[in-house]
Structure 1
Amino acid sequence: MKRLFLEFVMSLGFSIIGFWFVFYSWYYFLKQGIELYFFGDKTSGLSGILLGIPLGGILGILLAQKLVYKTKGWNVFGTAMALILSIIGCLFGIYMMDEVGSYVIFLIPLLVAMMCLIGYHFKVLFR
């Protein structure tokens, strides 16, 4: 249980770091935000949500596996499932932002971290 909690916390932390890294690197440094007005913001915010949060979440789980628990092999199936489920979680988060309001943006990293954890341990959960 401590292992799952540590992976969840690292996934959540790195998903937030991934969002801010993608958002600031694309929007402020490279100035590649397309003038597509979506939810009252430009697409740089969406690129941070759709790219930074899933990759950061998966990176957090992989760092917990490799650096803290020192596992030998790579869980390729789990990593692919975590990527697919985290992108689905991001799309669901964007849908929630559209239907409920933009204040649910704080729930998207929690949702994606949980989806990454479920995807990474998919084989264990459904044995």
Structure 2
Amino acid sequence: MSKVETGYQKEGNRHIWFAKSELGGVHIWAIEQDKDWRDRWGERFLGGIEIHSPKPLYGDCQASHDDCWLLNAPCWHDGSSLQFSEQIEPVMRHCDDIREMDDYIIGTCIERYRYQFDHDEQPQPEFL
């Protein structure tokens, strides 16, 4: 198992949690929405679960980013706002302070990281 670095950062109103190593990375982001959004969609947060790979994820294609902010190198990127909406937002919406969720969200990043990167053969990600 490779050494995984985890962390949190905030950019404006966007909260970002991540797990990464030389094998790749996963980040989860969330932005708290206003009352109109909550009333319309029933969700307090908009967000995503994002995969960053130093190798192509789906066959031979160009890198998504020449200089990925998470890997500091070229990366192939894929993500899912639907999985965030179905799996993470329902837990987050009831917290008083979003930072109360750090352990849960970092744990989810690590779980996704291990599934995607920390094994001998990399299957196509089923969770994206």
TM range (shorter): 0.3 to 0.5
Query: What TM-score comes out, normalization by structure 2 length?
Result: 0.41
Higher helix share: 1
Higher strand share: 2
